[in-house]
Structure 1
């Protein structure tokens, strides 16, 4: 619409400057004479077109802003997509880790002693020597409780020698003796009474000031060791509690 109006104005300007038809010129005294067409009409049309030029310039600026915004949005979406892909990879790794953990827990050892562990009868006591699954001292005690017993201890040399002859010589075994409550006193796990029989290694006497509080059988002697380290263990089940 603006272009049409401008064109009409330019035509009128040209007619005015070239003069009216002869008859009309005779009757009127026109004050416009075309002496410099390029400057007279061109300047008028150019002035009339200035609003269009300004409008087009603003449109170009707006278009440039839209293009910049689209480019910025494109980069933003690319970052979002990359972030989503990274999250998906992390989820895949987590799922794989959880599946492996589930499988590992599925095949975890039973909380009690191995089925192959048989009773070794010594006097009135029944000893179970766990030779397959190592556990911490507390976990070993829990496993013994599940069969109605407790971690084993010895009351005399006969019991000690009988069981010591049946264990694997190179492996340490947890016993039901500790000094948790008093570093100077070693007590039985089931009755909390003072231990009557311990056979310390003269070359490795217990360091009662250390963080080791649990007694283990190893290489024909008893030793004081860290309770958290998994070891094999010996359970005891009998009718008499000291």
Structure 2
């Protein structure tokens, strides 16, 4: 490359000199008639080129120095570029490591937060369940106390009434004995009839009061029972029922299961209840009810109350001469084996 530069520079100088010789009038210099250029202008050309030729070593030195400086600068640039690349790679690695560390910390923090939330939720759930159990126990205890109080109060009033009747009967007997001695047979019969009428009225009054008291007691017990039942029970028509769709038991075990949750096997009292239960039950599924005719064919009794069942909606072909337990299927009733293990329906009260 340096030799090529020398050649180009020398050619330019020669062309410049040749141009000066060819056009001396334009430059205002010496006039040289070139009849024999190689011989006539050799000395003149050498004279003109000598200073430039003498400057060639210095120029070469300068060019070598410039080339050396360029190579040094290029080397420095390569070194700087290498350092920058190394620094960039180092920064990238450090940044990646930092980002990975931050991501790991975030994941650990998220895991810790999730564990704390799960722990807190579990603690809250456990606390709420404990409070609910305590509340249910308190309600049950209060209801038991109320039942005991009602029962005791009823027995006390009944005993007091019986005692008053006994005292009244004793007094009447004594009075009759005394009056028999002083009154005639006709007077005695009149007074006896009047006394018997008074006793009859008094007995009817006492029976009426006793019936009203029992009805009030039953109503109060029913209301209290509704409040204390399991939350599984749902209101259908005017009462509360629980339809078991997961557990299959025989008739007698189903009754025990209903009583354990605070209710009894269900007896349906009207079409409104039947329709509400049918809508909420599973199609093509059998359900035990509390009704059976095990004691006597054709006499259907509620196991819950011991009273005669009052409402039926028989499936085709029933009741016939079958003896067994009543089951509900797709809104219709039939008589089947009491030992059949099927689903069952509970009621919260013991009225029917």
Q: TM-score, normalised by structure 2?
A: 0.33
Q: TM-score, normalised by structure 1?
A: 0.48
- Name the one with the larger helix percent: 2
Name which structure has the greater RCO, CA cutoff 8 Å, separation 6+.
1
